[in-house]
Structure 1
Amino acid sequence: MSDSLKQLKEKIYDEGTIGQLLDELGCTDVRINSGRTGDDLVTARLPGSSNPRGAQIYLSENLHTELVGEGISGDIYSLVGFILYNCISFDDVRSNLFQIKTYICNALGYEHTGNDFTKEKQKTDWNWWLRDIQKKRPKEYEITENIVLSQDILREFVPYGWEGWYQEGIDVLTQRDFGIGYHIPTDRVSIPIHNSRGELIGVKGRYVGSNKEIKENKKYSYIYSCSKSIEIFNMHRALPYIKKQKKVYVFEGAKSVMTMWAWGIKNAVSIEGDRLSPVQSKLLKELGIDIDLVFSWDKGKDEDFVNNQLRQIKGRRVFYLYDNTDRFKDKMSPVDRGREVFEDLETNDKHIYSI
């Protein structure tokens, strides 16, 4: 483990901020359980759980953590990774460490430069009466950037749209706007990924070959990889329409965004997954206080999940679409049954999020 990650755990332990972090994560029933030396621990109920001791964090500099019933044994990074990014293995946590560390520092108001954290022990908090005010102040995230790729790599892809999406309502002009192509070596429809400035940073592929195992387990993968959690798909195209409409629709996947574009609704973006990262939250907030954020998750997410994701966004008008009448089957996008059903969903089942 890097020095900065170790120092961050030590800082949490030294300053006794584990309770504050659990509160920020939406955990409840936080308790300190004292026992024999070395056995003191903090227990808490995980969001959406019925077990009041589902999270158990041992009070030592390592902050060893057990998530009872989830089969997860690790440290505080495992806890944050599980709640925010559905991390269930060490590799999952490792691949999300930047986002996990960023979230913790933001949640606890820790300032740091590079990998350095202050080593000071906890002091008397003479400004305790300011804490509620300080928690309402805007917090900043570190943001790294994906490497910008040469446009020349797009020559590797046949520049035609895919008939399968055309049959599903994504017309040829829309597919051309999004640069949809075909990658012959991998039998994948290609989707260029750009950053908010419109620079090419990756290429995602949708498998359309005949291998059943790939279709079931690896339908989408990156031909040219990038970190999706620090980008918002289609932001560079959608921005002028977002500013004009004073509203942005936020979906899980690129296909939903392209479907909306084909309908003439061009103020839509995607977070390329179901978990909103801290950096994506920051990018959405930077659109301005006059922009309504309308989140549109696929069917199957319960309201606890939705609330846990949206609690990262404060000081904005935030809405979410939630299907209460079984318009959709599990895992269906809100656009999968056509524009009329989507408009009915927005008219009758759009809810405002309140903290």
Structure 2
Amino acid sequence: MLDRDALKESLTLDDIKKIMAELGSASPKEGKDGQVIFQTVCHGGNSHKLYYYEHDRTFKCYTDCGIKGNIFDIVIAAKESQGFEMTFVESLKYVAKFCGKENLKTSSKYTKNNLSNDMAWLSKFNKKPINTKLKVYDEKILRTFLPYPHESWIEEGISYNTQKLFEIGYYMREDKITIPQRDINGQLVGIRGRAMRSEDLENGRKYMPLIINNVEYTVLTGMYLYGLNITAPAIKKYKRAIIYEAEKSVQKDFTIYGEESCATAVGGGNVSKWHVQQLVDLGVEEVVLAFDRERADILETDDEKAIKKKEKANFQNQKKLRMAAEKFAPYCRAYVLYDVKGLIELKEAPIDRGREVLEELMKDKILIESRSAGD
């Protein structure tokens, strides 16, 4: 059996970077305190908010995902976000094989106490029924914020009335736009902050759960869909949903379509089984994944390496979208919006250019069907 502790301790920073690159993370950034910041492959996101602390070889994702753990935890989470189930033992073998450290076996002197401790540690990876009950926070915390819609969002296409409806506010102490997160029943299950300070933005802290008086107002995005407390009636009525990555996209959609808006957001680029179940329970017969554009244009160039890199990235993005849509395919018609006409820019959401562009993209939506076992 592989020695998990010896394997973890043997991994150099270069090993960690290679593993993360293999999992789909782009080149890491360096934090102001020397941390290494990777893309959030733990939940299928694209932002650099997954911090690696070399001194104790641990990771923490500073999004609503909130995962904390070692490289094995990250491998399992990343694989699950890509649609593959992986056990802890499989993650050990994956890391060991990738780094050429398959000879790090458990010592023959392994004691009964060692084994007992390891079994207790391993037990946390056993599959258990998912608890979909989110933590509910005290409504009084909302009094901390100024209840004013933000002018910059109005300029981006989110109306004053829409921001009021979605309770957008401002936290003066940290210079952040506040975005309350409510479940389908209207209970407060988290609060996200949109940073306005250049220091936060430069360090990859654009969107973060708020922490006030040592309380972290986080919500597990894999168990939660943003906006359903407002758009669920339309989703039930029209039996369709359009799924965005972020809260602002839902608000832009509502600004355009009002009470006919069927928008919701997954809080990143990953679709979980719970997301599927929540929308199936609402009776959807059609879903459209309207994720941010990740496809990079391949311009005329003689740099074959650059071309291959972009082609690989585009292929991975198409695969990721297909895998997300395939989770819905057994239950309803599942489509993806994939901008091949260059109507939106890199990192833009399909709604960012307004109604006309969104509806043009909808004309070309791609039907995704379940693959058979032989595919």
TM-score clears 0.5: yes
From 328, 341, 344, give the equivalent of 1:328: 344
From 283, 299, 307, give the equivalent of 2:322: 307
In the comparison of the two structures, how many residue pairs are matched? 267
Residue of structure 2 in register with 1:163 after alignment: 151
The aligned runs of 1:314-353 (5 Å cut-off) are: 314-316=329-331, 317-347=333-363, 349-353=364-368
Task: From the superposition, tell whether residues 300 and 106 of structure 1 become closer, same or farther in structure 2 (CA, over 3 Å).
Answer: closer
Paired letter, 1:72: I
Residue of structure 2 in register with 1:215 after alignment: 201
Residue of structure 1 in register with 2:218 after alignment: 225
Task: From the superposition, tell whether residues 286 and 220 of structure 1 become closer, same or farther in structure 2 (CA, over 3 Å).
Answer: same
Contact 2:329–2:368, Cα closer than 8 Å, also in 1: no
From 142, 154, 161, give the equivalent of 2:142: 154
CA distance in 2, matches of 1:222, 1:82: 18
Q: Is 1:197 equivalent to 2:156 in the alignment?
A: no
Residue of structure 2 in register with 1:296 after alignment: 290
Residue of structure 2 in register with 1:23 after alignment: none
From 68, 78, 93, give the equivalent of 1:95: 68
CA distance in 1, matches of 2:361, 2:153: 23
Contact 2:231–2:264, Cα closer than 8 Å, also in 1: yes
Cα displacement (A) at 1:255: 0.3
CA distance in 2, matches of 1:280, 1:182: 29
Cα displacement (A) at 1:106: 9.7
Q: Is 1:286 equivalent to 2:281 in the alignment?
A: yes
Paired letter, 2:288: V
Q: With structure 2 as the length reference, what TM-score do the two structures score?
A: 0.61
> Which one is further off, 220-229 or 323-332?
220-229
Q: Is 1:187 equivalent to 2:175 in the alignment?
A: yes
Q: Give SS of 2:237's match.
A: helix
Contact 1:141–1:282, Cα closer than 8 Å, also in 2: no
Residue of structure 1 in register with 2:314 after alignment: none
Cα displacement (A) at 1:280: 2.3
Contact 1:243–1:291, Cα closer than 8 Å, also in 2: no
Residue of structure 2 in register with 1:85 after alignment: 44
Q: Is 1:277 equivalent to 2:293 in the alignment?
A: no
> Which one is further off, 171-180 or 225-234?
225-234
Contact 2:325–2:336, Cα closer than 8 Å, also in 1: no
CA distance in 1, matches of 2:368, 2:151: 38
Contact 2:145–2:178, Cα closer than 8 Å, also in 1: yes
Q: Deviations over 1:197-250 (max 9, x none)?
A: 210011111122xx3231232121111222222110011211110011111000
Residue of structure 2 in register with 1:56 after alignment: none
Identity %: 25
Q: Is 1:242 equivalent to 2:210 in the alignment?
A: no
Cα displacement (A) at 1:144: 3.8
Cα displacement (A) at 1:314: 4.2
Cα displacement (A) at 1:279: 2.6
CA distance in 1, matches of 2:225, 2:208: 17
Q: Deviations over 1:6-58 (max 9, x none)?
A: xxxxxxxxxxxxxxxxxxxxxxxxxxxxxxxxxxxxxxxxxxxxxxxxxxxxx
Contact 1:202–1:222, Cα closer than 8 Å, also in 2: yes
Q: With structure 1 as the length reference, what TM-score do the two structures score?
A: 0.64
Contact 1:102–1:142, Cα closer than 8 Å, also in 2: no
CA distance in 2, matches of 1:61, 1:279: 34
Contact 1:242–1:291, Cα closer than 8 Å, also in 2: no
CA distance in 1, matches of 2:274, 2:191: 20
Q: Give SS of 2:59's match.
A: helix
Q: Deviations over 1:94-115 (max 9, x none)?
A: 5385994995999599xxxxx9
CA distance in 1, matches of 2:149, 2:132: 32
Q: Deviations over 1:125-157 (max 9, x none)?
A: xxxxxxxxxxxxxxx951243211111111111
Q: CA RMSD in A?
A: 4.0
Cα displacement (A) at 1:308: 2.6
Query: Is there any run of 5+ residues in structure 2 with no aligned partner, and where?
Result: 24-39, 53-57, 62-66, 88-121, 211-216, 296-316
Task: From the superposition, tell whether residues 108 and 157 of structure 1 become closer, same or farther in structure 2 (CA, over 3 Å).
Answer: closer
CA distance in 2, matches of 1:256, 1:239: 16
Q: Give SS of 1:202's match.
A: strand
CA distance in 2, matches of 1:267, 1:303: 24
CA distance in 2, matches of 1:102, 1:278: 14
Q: Give SS of 1:165's match.
A: helix
From 268, 273, 278, give the equivalent of 2:263: 268
Task: From the superposition, tell whether residues 272 and 163 of structure 1 become closer, same or farther in structure 2 (CA, over 3 Å).
Answer: same
Paired letter, 2:198: K
Task: From the superposition, tell whether residues 180 and 101 of structure 1 become closer, same or farther in structure 2 (CA, over 3 Å).
Answer: closer
Contact 1:252–1:274, Cα closer than 8 Å, also in 2: yes
Cα displacement (A) at 1:159: 0.9
